[in-house]
Amino acid sequence: MSEERDPQRTLRSDAWYDGGDRNAYIHRAWMRRGAPSSAFEGRPQIAIANTASDLTPCNSHLDEVAQSVKNGVYEAGGIPLELPVVSLGETQVRPTAMLWRNMAAMATEEMLRANPIDGVVLLGGCDKTIPSLLMAAASVDLPAVVVPGGPMLTGHFRNEALGCGTDVWRLSEEVRAGTLSQDQFVKSESSMIRSRGHCNTMGTASTMALVAEALGTVIPGLAGTPAADSRLLEAAHDTGRFVVELVAAGRTPSSFLTKGNFHNAIVALAAIGGSTNAVVHLLAIAGRLGIDLTIDDFDRIGAEVPLLVNLQPAGQYLMDDLYRAGGFLAVLREVKDLLDPTALTVTGKPLVDYLADARIWDRDVITPRDAPLIPAAGISVLRGSLAPGGAIIKPAAASPRLLKHRGRALVFDSIEDFHRRIDDPDLDVDADSVLVLRGCGPKGYPGMPEVSNMPLPTKLLAQGVRDMVRICDGRMSGTAYGTVILHVTPEAAAGGPLALVQTGDWISLDVRNRRLDLDVPPEELAGRRPNDATVKGYANPRRGWERLYVDHVLQADTGADLDFLIGSSGSEVSRESH
């Protein structure tokens, strides 16, 4: 991967530090703090965009990872500069981390552009951090490479491995069904998070780390390394060395990321049984690069890709099992023929060039191509009278018997409405009912929360029911499971047909034929009007980021970015600061 820097090529940071005038003096003097003169003499300035935060517990170890990156940068002749950026803890921030993904991307982009930076290492882990960093890197278009923070080690409770997120949903349903005591549920809490790192299931954090590698923005072989594994620090050090070479080569995201890279990301998403959230994140990243990616590409490219990774929530094992079983490259080797062979990685070499030596060491965890867990497991895109702009479902996490279903709607106008009524013993619901939750889209919530995998009614849980068809304009945690139709577009608050559904309406789902329909005569539907709660959503922001977000956010089918952030502005800053 070694690259020699062209001595004729000036560094971007030279515009700040080169010369003997007053402004160059100011820039150098304030950054000296004991640094030698050579720090400003042709040495690349490398930002380490660090999302570490005690309030983002899955990323709290990234300061240690950053130190290894720094060591590598300095060893290779660069100057490492840690840059704390907006950090979003999926489990902590309210009303939803998705509300601030675009803000985090915008803030990171602006800080990279505004500062004397030649290249950047992006440190992320928890769900929204890697997507926001990649959106920023795509828009500012400086040499950039991702170091994923890695999954936690597996915890155990009563001799059972716990998948964080997935087992939260499972155990909480068992409490509601009366098969697990509240005391035992609480006792499992301290076993759930065994070590540093993000969720150990194939949730959104794990998905986005692996998808970022398939996309070509991680040095191949790194993603999926457990956070507590010392090999993560070794890889972080190597990435620090590599980014200096990356600057020398002048390789920016726009110089190697093509639609072929997104093709590979979609194949990988299906093969690993990844989170549906990757759809909205990849669409947003593509939008920053000007690449024509649509939700239909996810169906066209990924729908027939086999599921090869036996991990929760679609399977049995967890992320540290995937790593010991051969890792992500072993998965990609099994679907090599489905990958775009021309798509380059950040190293300048095609992704497929890194697959020759990959091997499966545990076929229970990574199944071979000729014995997949599910023959066709990618995201399915549904359309019809209830979702004219599209909706998605993850068949690998759904009940096969429900993939074709017709039932009467039970409608909830908000998540608060849902919580008030779902456990009412007199609720008019049965196993064939279709639970409909609206007001949870980008505008309506605002922020598109992970509420689509609605808990089932208590009285049905007591009868042994464990899955129902559920429909929502919000998102679902990557750790969740069930027959859940989500990202319904247009959302109810944007005037979509979802706003007009009434309890008792018949809804038809046919995943094989990609249909989601409201079986109400068009003339009757034309006479309906949504109620105020559905149109206005839960919040009606008057100021600040929420106001800006609601006024400018796009729908889920294009990535839920802000309309004025589509595309890029590059790295140039034309005016001096003094």
Confidence of residue 172 (pLDDT cuts 50, 70, 90): confident
Given 354, 372, 398, which residue is the final one in a domain? 354
Q: 166-177 and 182-192 helices cross at what angle (nearest 10)?
A: 170
Q: Residue 7 pLDDT more than 70? A: no
Q: Picking from 40-49, 186-195, 336-345, 383-392, which range would have the lowest pLDDT averaged per residue? A: 186-195
Structure confidence at residue 271 as a pLDDT band (50, 70, 90): very high
Based on the domain organization, do 58 and 80 belong to the same domain?
yes
The mean pLDDT value for 261-286 works out to 97
In the numeric block, the tokens 């196993």 are attached to 431
Query: With contact defined as beta carbons under 8 Å apart, do 222 and 346 qualify?
Result: no
Instruction: Please compute the mean of the pLDDT values over residues 558-575 and round it to a whole number.
Output: 93
Cα distances (Å, whole numbers) of residue 153 to 134, 149, 319, 324:
26, 13, 8, 12
Is 573 contained in some domain?
A: no
| The pLDDT of residue 86 is above 90 | yes
Question: Does one domain contain both 435 and 313?
Answer: no
Residue 144 and residue 176 share a domain:
no
For residues 169 and 222, state if they share a domain. Answer: no
Residue 569 lies in a domain: no
pLDDT for res 9: 60
Cα separation, 339 vs 268, in Å, equals: 9
Distances (CA, A) of 136 to 130, 213, 298, 443, 546: 10, 17, 23, 22, 20
Do 144 and 160 belong together in one domain?
Answer: no
CA pair distance 212, 102, nearest whole angstrom: 18
- 181 and 150, same domain (yes or no): no
Which residues form the domain of 522? 380-558
Q: Which amino acid is residue 90, in one-letter code? A: E
Q: Rounded to whole angstroms, how far apart are CA atoms 127 and 145?
A: 17
CATH number at residue 488: 3.50.30.80
Regarding whether 322 and 447 lie in a shared domain, the answer is: no
461 within some domain: yes
Q: What is the pLDDT of residues 237-251, one digit of tens each?
A: 999 999 999 999 999
User: Is residue 542 scored above 80 in pLDDT?
Assistant: no
User: Domain boundary residue among 137, 167, 192?
Assistant: 192
Stretch 102-120: mean pLDDT: 98
- Taking alpha carbons only, the member of 308, 499, 484, 307 closest to residue 382 is 484
| Same-domain check for residues 126 and 254 | yes
Same structural domain, 222 and 306: yes
Residue 6 scores a pLDDT above 70: no
Q: Is residue 161 part of a domain?
A: yes
**Domain shared by 317 and 385, yes or no:** no
CB count in 10 Å sphere of residue 523: 7
Counted domains in the chain: 3
pLDDT band of 5, cuts 50, 70, 90: very low
Percent of the chain with pLDDT over 90: 83
Residues contacting 333, CB < 8 A, separation 6+: 355, 356, 358, 359
**Do residues 28 and 52 share a domain?**
yes
Residue 187 lies in a domain: yes
The residue-averaged pLDDT of 464-476 equals 96
Q: Output the pLDDT for position 176.
A: 84
Taking the complete model, does pTM exceed 0.75, yes or no?
yes
- In this structure, the number of other CB atoms found within 10 A of the CB of residue 330 comes to 22
Residue 3 lies in a domain: no
Could you give the CA distance from residue 431 to residue 419 in angstroms, rounded to a whole number?
18
pLDDT digits (tens, 9 = 90+) for 419-436: 999 999 999 999 999 999
Domain boundary (177, 192, 207) is at 192
The candidate with the shortest Cα–Cα distance to 370, out of 334, 328, 321, 341, is 334
Residue 26 lies inside a defined structural domain of this protein: yes
Please give the mean pLDDT across all residues of the chain. Answer: 93
Please state the rounded mean pLDDT for residues 256-285. 97
Tell me, yes or no, whether 264 lies in a domain. Answer: yes
pLDDT-derived band at 3, boundaries 50, 70, 90: very low
* Span between the terminal Cα atoms of the chain, in Å: 39
pLDDT of residue 535: 61
**What number is the average pLDDT over the span 446-460?**
94
**For 194-226, what is each residue's pLDDT tens digit?**
899 999 999 999 999 999 999 999 999 999 999
Residues 64 and 176 both lie in one domain:
no
**Tokens coding 427:** 């609720």
* Burial category of 395 from C-beta neighbours within 10 Å (exposed 0-12, middle 13-18, buried 19 and up): buried
Q: Which residues pair with 84 in a beta bridge?
A: 50
